[in-house]
Structure formats: structure tokens, C-alpha cells
Amino acid sequence: MTASDNNRSEFRSNVFLAAALEANSNVHAVRIRNLSKSGALVEGVDLPHAGAYILLRRGRLQIEGDLAWENAGHAGLNFRSPIKIADWIRRIGHEGQQGIDRIVQTIKTSNEPSAADLHPLRKKSIVEISAELEAICERLAGLPPRSIEFDEELLKLDALAQSLKRLAGGGTF
């Protein structure tokens, strides 16, 4: 069975990782947004078209694959062989990543946020806070390489921004 034969129900780790996507002799700076052993969702500018052979690089790691689809700055990748997710997120740290995965899973399965969850948000609208956090994440992600601790905090901040966006009705998971 090839990586592209796997179904979408495979566990996906929600991440915020800088990487390089090579295709057609071009290198594209991308952010990996979710990762499974057989594929990934990436976002970036001027991504290659569906069907392109790709090489995804993150630090010393690399994986060959194919670009399954591309739309509005997002793309789905199918890897040609399985990866070990832990290796790809190791730089950020397992414990922090597991916490983000738990938060995202809770959000996906919850219909209503509790009053305790919303208490600190009463002074500004959720839409305003979500937009501000998302803009901060975008600016921070575009900065030069940072420390492991910085990347861990950026990942947490981005997860919160996405949570608020969902609560405000501006996006879905």
C-alpha cells in the first residue's frame, strides 16, 4: 500500500512548522499545518500545481511525495513512504505538541465553550481577538529562525488564534 492509498481518517498532528517544499527546480517556504505518517497540509505562496513531484525538507529531514491538491495558498501532500511524526516535530518538543493536539481535539468535539473558557474574552469581541492573534502569528512566523522555546509558544498562540476563529464562526477544522 502506498502513502496515497491511506484514508483521511489517519491521525493528524496539528502543527505550525517551518519547512521548504521543493518542486520543479523551485524552493517554496511553507508552514506545515498538520502532519500524518503519509501526508501533510502545508500553506505558502505560489505553490506548485497538483500532481507535482515534491521534496519536503525540515532541517535534516526530507521526504519525497506528490502534491495531491492546491487551493488558495494551501496544499495537500502525499508522501511516497511513511514518516515518523515524532522526528518531524522533535525540535518543538513532544510534550508541547501533545498539549496542542489535545486542545485541538477538544475544540473539534465541543459544541459550546464553557463560561470559564470565555471569561477573559469579554472586553473584546472574539472576532477582534482572533484577527489580532492571527496577524501576530503571521508576522512571527515570517521572522528568521528562532529558539525552540519561541517556536513552542508560537505554536500555542496559533492554536489559540484558530480556536477563537472557530468560536467566532470565521473558520472550521
Question: Residue 53's domain is classified under what CATH number?
Answer: 2.40.10.220
Q: Are residues 80 and 10 in the same domain?
A: yes
Q: Are residues 76 and 103 in the same domain?
A: no
Q: Are residues 24 and 59 in the same domain?
A: yes
- Across the range 68-88, mean pLDDT stands at 94
Q: Are residues 135 and 68 in the same domain?
A: no
**Does the pLDDT at position 31 exceed 60?**
yes
Residue 108 lies in a domain: yes
Number of domains in the chain: 2
Q: Are residues 71 and 100 in the same domain?
A: no
Cα separation of 39 and 27, whole Å?
19
Domain boundary among 48, 64, 87: 87
User: Residue 23's pLDDT band (boundaries 50, 70, 90)?
Assistant: very high
3-class DSSP assignment, residue 127: helix
The predicted-structure confidence for 87-104, as pLDDT tens digits, reads as follows 888 754 444 555 555 555
Residue corresponding to grid cell 511513511: 82
The larger pLDDT score, comparing residue 76 to residue 109, is at 76
Burial of 127 (C-beta count, 10 Å sphere; 0-12/13-18/19+): middle
Residue 173 lies in a domain: no
Q: Are residues 138 and 156 in the same domain?
A: yes
User: Residue 117's pLDDT band (boundaries 50, 70, 90)?
Assistant: very low
Domain boundary among 53, 87, 121: 87
Domain boundary among 87, 122, 137: 87
Residue 101 lies in a domain: yes
Q: Are residues 103 and 82 in the same domain?
A: no
Q: Are residues 72 and 101 in the same domain?
A: no
Under DSSP, the state recorded for 49 is P
3-class DSSP assignment, residue 4: helix
Which one, of 7, 69, 59, lies nearest residue 37 by Cα?
7
Q: Are residues 64 and 7 in the same domain?
A: yes
Total residue length of the chain: 173
- Across the range 4-13, mean pLDDT stands at 60
**Structural domain boundaries enclosing 162:** 92-167
Q: Are residues 147 and 102 in the same domain?
A: yes
Which one, of 41, 59, 74, 72, lies nearest residue 151 by Cα?
59
C-alpha cell at 149: 522555546
